[in-house]
Chains A and B, each alone.
Chain A
């Protein structure tokens, strides 16, 4: 655990990004010429009213959607031109997701859910087991390893989802309204957990949320309004960076 002070590089760089959706014959602009930098090793909140385009922005950073225009670089990789398979491999290796509805695989146990991203990145079994147990321990669910999602509470499911998102040691974790389906107390504990994990694992976390607690906990806050970046608030220019230890193998192909 070395404390290093250095200027933060970028987890994601968006230049002049535009995204439109077509509803019938009508084209609706979701993002218009968005240019921002998401700092590495920070917890960044994307905020804004409903329909402002914050989820679209999160989807683009998460590489599950493609921009219609502009340049997008995530974890140092220009992703716009990657093939579908290469993008899948990129997500498996460098990105983690936490969803509003937890989205755990219902037929898998908590252990297996956390293990899944490690299988995708071909981590050897022994290393996989060690990593899964350590992640479940980190989110306080070691005793629930054999439980199926249906046997867990909402808060516990979201903890498993966080463990899963972090299992493959991604560069960036993206969370879409992670507290929206939880009561305020559980939501607060989830924010606290994410913050703690972000710091311990030295990763970048981008959370899309209305929740004031999330915004309060964030290093940076990007406010989106009508598909445009209205403001970017950075709480600090210098922060703690921990060495990043990749767990995954190299499956990325162009």
Chain B
């Protein structure tokens, strides 16, 4: 009791130095917690993005994940409706499920034959209602829900393409994409061709061009190999070009109705899908749901060789991004820890020097070395605790300001700007861990000076009076 009281009074004794040291701890706590909150927001944001588009778990044909991209049709799930039915009605899984929906991925060549251009694409056939239901998942309380898919309430042959596909297929004008410019080479080539023509031919050509109706044709042809290996073509009506956030995906994406995709690949044969997406109420249900699915796949659904993949495996960029932010967070935490270590160490060293006569007096009166040590360590600990508590309060206030400040940013892999949010409120475990961690650092940094104080020769210490 006396040790705590003495420590508190000694902190108040040199107020300016204590405040400076506290400020360093407060700033350190705020930096760690705010960046932690920001990282948490990134993690949840990415997770929401993946879970809304591809679910928590996917049931796939065995080896589809590793080899299926080369020939998706060969890795189809034949009796997928039965599989979905079993999953939906399983008494263990049912309470955990929000959506179970199929998807069919395929590779092909999309062409705008009117313009004489084509490119390879990856097409995704989706059940629009199921996908729209998945987009409502919001386990982390983000503001607003995304709009429904562009394919909603569209014709069976409707398609959505990536911005890059639209650009290459020269559909920018027809789809009203403003940011789409034609390559300089093409423009120059046309100008050169016109200039090279005799004037009368050029005039005729212009008249002919004016005579052709300028219809807004957004039709494309999608050529793909059927499950039997024969080529098949589907004519799709592009309703929208949607930016996919990542250029690589933007340049190859074609979204279409599942039935259309199945007709393209399986023709009149029984349709299949390449994956069944399973979305859960909560991410932490993944282990239980996965275990149950694997049990079902090995018992009642053992007819086909199927396997379960989680969203982290299916989206390696998720783990990489989280790892990247975790590394930065760790680096910042260590840096702040070192700063606090030296700041508190310096403060306590100065305190030991200044209070050398006091140390001598207390030792002469009978206080043991351990008593001197604990006096300074408790001072350091109180600085750590007080600084952390003030830091937590400051963080909560700052987070409130940031979250309601209307600041937005566009995260990697996303198209639309999102509010800049730091998720601090409710994250009590990281707060306690930060406070305890920094307090531990202050104890460690007080340990050396306090030991020096405890070892001071009493006679020498008294001479300083």
Interface string of A158-192 (1 = CB under 8 A from B): 00000010000000000000000000000000000
Task: Say whether B13 contacts A65, CB under 8 Å.
Answer: no
B-side residues, CB < 8 A to A, are 2, 6, 9-10, 12-13, 357-358, 360-370, 458-459, 462, 465
Task: Say whether A89 contacts B366, CB under 8 Å.
Answer: yes
Task: Say whether B13 contacts A106, CB under 8 Å.
Answer: yes
A-side residues, CB < 8 A to B, are 59, 62, 64-65, 84-85, 88-93, 95, 97, 99-101, 103, 105-108, 116-117, 119-121, 164
A97 and B321 alpha carbons, distance in the complex (Å): 66
Task: Say whether A84 contacts B369, CB under 8 Å.
Answer: yes
Which one of B10, B12, B360, B366 contacts A88 once the chains associate, using CB atoms below 8 Å? Answer: B366
Task: Say whether A120 contacts B465, CB under 8 Å.
Answer: no
Chain A residue nearest in CB terms to B464 = A101
Task: Say whether A116 contacts B9, CB under 8 Å.
Answer: no
Chain A residue nearest in CB terms to B1 = A119
Task: Say whether B361 contacts A64, CB under 8 Å.
Answer: no
Given A106-B13, A107-B6, A120 and B462 contact (CB-CB distance below 8 Å): no
Task: Say whether A120 contacts B6, CB under 8 Å.
Answer: no
Further contacts, 5 of them, CB under 8 A, given A99-B361, A116-B365: A65-B459, A84-B368, A103-B361, A116-B362, A120-B367
Which one of B10, B357, B363, B370 contacts A64 once the chains associate, using CB atoms below 8 Å? Answer: B363
Please list the 3 inter-chain residue pairs (A to B) with the smallest Cβ-Cβ separation, ordered nearest first: A92-B366, A107-B9, A103-B361
Interface of B is mostly: helix
Could you give 17 example pairs across A and B, Cβ below 8 Å? Answer: A64-B364, A64-B459, A65-B458, A85-B368, A91-B364, A92-B366, A97-B361, A97-B364, A97-B365, A99-B462, A103-B465, A105-B358, A108-B6, A108-B9, A116-B2, A120-B365, A164-B365
Which one of B10, B360, B361, B366 contacts A120 once the chains associate, using CB atoms below 8 Å? Answer: B366
Nearest CB of B to A98, in Å: 11
Contact partners of A121 in chain B: CB under 8 A: 366
A191 and B175 alpha carbons, distance in the complex (Å): 105
Task: Say whether B361 contacts A105, CB under 8 Å.
Answer: yes
Nearest CB of A to B232, in Å: 89
A92 and B367 alpha carbons, distance in the complex (Å): 7
Contact partners of A65 in chain B: CB under 8 A: 458-459
Which one of B2, B10, B365, B465 contacts A91 once the chains associate, using CB atoms below 8 Å? Answer: B365
Contact partners of B13 in chain A: CB under 8 A: 106-107
A121 and B364 alpha carbons, distance in the complex (Å): 14
A59 and B367 alpha carbons, distance in the complex (Å): 16
A93 and B459 alpha carbons, distance in the complex (Å): 19
Which one of A89, A95, A101, A105 contacts B362 once the chains associate, using CB atoms below 8 Å? Answer: A105
Task: Say whether A117 contacts B366, CB under 8 Å.
Answer: yes
Contact partners of B364 in chain A: CB under 8 A: 62, 64, 91, 97
Contact partners of B368 in chain A: CB under 8 A: 84-85, 88-89
Chain B residue nearest in CB terms to A87 = B366
Task: Say whether B10 contacts A107, CB under 8 Å.
Answer: yes
Task: Say whether B462 contacts A93, CB under 8 Å.
Answer: no
Chain A residue nearest in CB terms to B8 = A107
A189 and B248 alpha carbons, distance in the complex (Å): 94
Chain A residue nearest in CB terms to B10 = A107
In the complex, which of the residues B360, B364, B370 has the most CB atoms of chain A within 10 Å of its own CB atom? B364
